[in-house]
């Protein structure tokens, strides 16, 4: 059950087999005789109600989703300053400018790097954690709630809290590492170190959340599989690797996809982590992300044209990565089918 709701694609496929919803079906072949008013009203009610119900969403989406996307494209092919407003049509000039800007590739790489650093370890730890929780624990609910705790802290607060630990010179973490002879690590200036610091913030907030999703998937695994494996003499770890992991693989892909959309837009953490006055992600953009570049172009350099071009390029990137994930998911799905 959880598996199906977890899987948007699967749900769409499920459409065909859903029982035909009768309630909303328009009356069959209309009788020739004029119908009483009541009946006609009921018919209109049945015909219009669905549209009425779905319209608020599409209205809001049209205003804040579809229109902006199209309008972003429109802005992106114009000179468009924050204060001066629309200028000349410039074709793809803004795209070329952004593409040629040395910071663009930097911000793209940073975004991907932070994303990988925050999704891969997160999935691994969350799966292990879910495996631990998938036991007959005493105080089950208490454990589950405890690991979800970080989820209530906003990214801004997380960045503040962790920022105070990741000081380059006087931070707690470097002091602690110093006592065991490591460091000091330049958290704000070394590119990889800064990515690790930011990814840590993301991981701290989301690992417990994802562990619960994995836990749900694990609990859907038929228990007799484990029993027969145990009869064959498979160890607990072996059971986990051979049974649990393959069974929850689609869920893993799902978690990665959903975190792609959020993860590639990361803004609050790196911005608050930044100590330079410009707050663009470090003096040399060591940890500047694409959304930060959108903000930089649009509101710090006051050029909405280039900001829009950057936003569209981010959109394309997200779509590409989501597509790769989707293909991956389909393949893994068919592999599972052959099993």
Partner 1 sequence: MTRRPGFLVYGLLAAFVVGSAAPFYWSFLLGSHTAQVAAQGVPPLLPGGHFLDNASRVMDTVPFWKALGNSVLVSSVCATSTVVFGTLAGYAFAKLRFRGRSALLAGVVATMAVPTQLGIVPLFIVMSKLGWTGTTWSIIVPTLVTAFGVFFMRQYLVDAVPDELIEAARMDGCSQIRVVWHVVAPAARPAAAILWLFTFMATWTDFFWPFIALPADNPTVQVALNQLQSGFFKDYSLVLTGATLATVPLLILFVLTGRQLVAGIMQGAVKG
Partner 2 sequence: MALTLASTLAACGGGDDGGETADGKTRITVATFNEFGYEGLIEEYNEMQDEVVLEQVKVGTWDDAKANLYTKLAAGSGLADIEAIEGDAIAAVLAESDAFADLSDPELDGRWLDFVAEKGTNADGQMIGYGTDVGPEGICYRADLFEKAGLPTDRDEVAAMLGTWDDYFAAGEKFVAKVPDTAWYDSSGALGQAMLNQVANPFEADDDTIETDNPDLEAVWDDVTGNSDTLSTQLAQWGDDWTASFQNDGFATTFCPGWMLGIIEGNAEGVEGWDIADVFPGGGGNWGGSYLTVPAQGDNIDKATEIAAWLSAPEQQAKAFAAKGTFPSQVDALAAPEIVDAVNPFFNDAEIGQILANRAQAVTVQPYKGPKYSDILTAFQAAVLRVDEGAQEPDESWEQFQADVAALG
Residues 63 to 92 in contact with partner 2, rule: CB under 8 A: 82-83
Identified binder of partner 2 from the candidate list 55, 105, 164, 228, rule CB under 8 A = 164
In the complex, minimum distance from the CB of residue 106 to partner 2, in angstroms, rounded to a whole number: 11
Phi, psi of 248 (to 5 degrees): -100, 10
Q: Which of 106, 117, 109, 271 is nearest to 199 (CA)?
A: 117
Phi, psi of 220 (to 5 degrees): -80, -10
CA distances from 84 to 79, 81, 131, 140, 322 (A): 10, 5, 57, 59, 36
In the complex, minimum distance from the CB of residue 338 to partner 1, in angstroms, rounded to a whole number: 25
- Partner whose footprint covers residue 8, from partner 2, partner 1, none (CB < 5 to 8 Å by kind): partner 1
- Partner whose footprint covers residue 5, from partner 2, partner 1, none (CB < 5 to 8 Å by kind): partner 1
Identified binder of partner 2 from the candidate list 10, 150, 155, 167, rule CB under 8 A = 167
222: left (phi over 0), alpha (psi -120 to 50) or beta: beta
In the complex, minimum distance from the CB of residue 47 to partner 2, in angstroms, rounded to a whole number: 20
Nearer to partner 1, 7 or 79 (CB): 7
CA atoms of 164 and 273, how far apart (whole Å): 9
CA atoms of 218 and 283, how far apart (whole Å): 45
In the complex, minimum distance from the CB of residue 276 to partner 2, in angstroms, rounded to a whole number: 5
- What is the DSSP annotation of 192-256? HHHHHHHHHHHHHHHHHHHHHHHHHHHHTS-HHHHHHHHHTT--HHHHIIIIIHHHTHHHHHHHH
Nearer to partner 1, 277 or 338 (CB): 277
In the complex, minimum distance from the CB of residue 24 to partner 1, in angstroms, rounded to a whole number: 3
In the complex, minimum distance from the CB of residue 230 to partner 2, in angstroms, rounded to a whole number: 51
Site string for partner 2, 300-319 (x = CB under 8 A): xxxx----------------
CA distances from 272 to 53, 161, 222, 280 (A): 41, 10, 45, 10
- Partner whose footprint covers residue 13, from partner 1, partner 2, none (CB < 5 to 8 Å by kind): none
- Partner whose footprint covers residue 83, from partner 2, partner 1, none (CB < 5 to 8 Å by kind): partner 2
181: left (phi over 0), alpha (psi -120 to 50) or beta: left
Length of the chain: 339
Nearer to partner 1, 136 or 334 (CB): 136
Nearer to partner 1, 68 or 246 (CB): 68
Is the omega angle on the peptide bond into residue 194 within 30 degrees of 0, that is, cis? no
In the complex, minimum distance from the CB of residue 246 to partner 1, in angstroms, rounded to a whole number: 19
Q: Tokens for 3? A: 């598996």
Judged by CB under 8 A, the stretch of 2-10, 22-30, 294-302, 322-330 that binds partner 2 is 294-302
Site for partner 2 in 169-228 (CB under 8 A): 169-171, 186, 188-189
Nearer to partner 1, 228 or 283 (CB): 228
Interacting residues with partner 2 (CB under 8 A): 82-83, 101-102, 163-164, 167-171, 186, 188-189, 275-280, 283-284, 286, 299-303
């Amino acid at each position: 059950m959880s598996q199906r709701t977890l899987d948007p694609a699967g749900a769409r496929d499920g459409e065909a087999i859903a029982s035909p919803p009768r309630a909303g079906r328009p009356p069959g072949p209309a009788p020739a005789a004029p119908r009483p008013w009541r009946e006609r009203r009921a018919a209109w009610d049945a015909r219009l109600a669905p549209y009425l119900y779905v319209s608020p969403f599409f209205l809001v989406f049209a205003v804040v989703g579809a229109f902006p996307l199209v309008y972003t494209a429109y802005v992106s092919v114009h000179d468009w300053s924050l204060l001066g407003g629309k200028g000349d049509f410039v074709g793809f000039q803004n795209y070329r400018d952004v593409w040629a800007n040395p910071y663009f590739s930097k911000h793209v790489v940073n975004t991907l790097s932070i994303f990988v650093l925050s999704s891969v370890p997160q999935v691994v730890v969350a799966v292990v954690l879910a495996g631990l929780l998938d036991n007959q624990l005493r105080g089950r609910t208490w454990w589950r709630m405890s690991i979800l705790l970080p989820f209530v802290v906003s990214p801004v607060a997380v960045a503040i809290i962790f920022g105070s630990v990741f000081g380059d010179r006087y931070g707690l973490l470097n002091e602690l590492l110093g006592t065991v002879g490591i460091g000091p690590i330049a958290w704000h200036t070394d590119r990889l170190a800064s990515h690790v610091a930011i990814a840590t913030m993301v991981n701290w907030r989301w690992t417990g959340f994802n562990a619960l999703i994995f836990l749900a998937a694990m609990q859907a695994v038929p228990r007799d599989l484990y029993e027969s494996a145990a009869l064959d003499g498979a160890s607990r770890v072996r059971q986990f690797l051979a049974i649990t992991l393959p069974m929850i693989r689609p869920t893993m892909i799902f978690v990665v996809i959903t975190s792609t959309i959020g993860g590639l837009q990361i803004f609050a953490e790196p911005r608050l982590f930044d100590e330079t006055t410009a707050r663009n992600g470090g003096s040399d953009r060591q940890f500047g992300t694409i959304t930060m570049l959108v903000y930089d172009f649009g509101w710090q350099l006051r050029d909405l044209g280039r900001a829009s071009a950057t936003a569209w390029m981010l959109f394309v990137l997200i779509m590409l990565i989501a597509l790769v994930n989707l293909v991956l998911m389909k393949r893994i799905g068919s592999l599972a089918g052959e099993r």
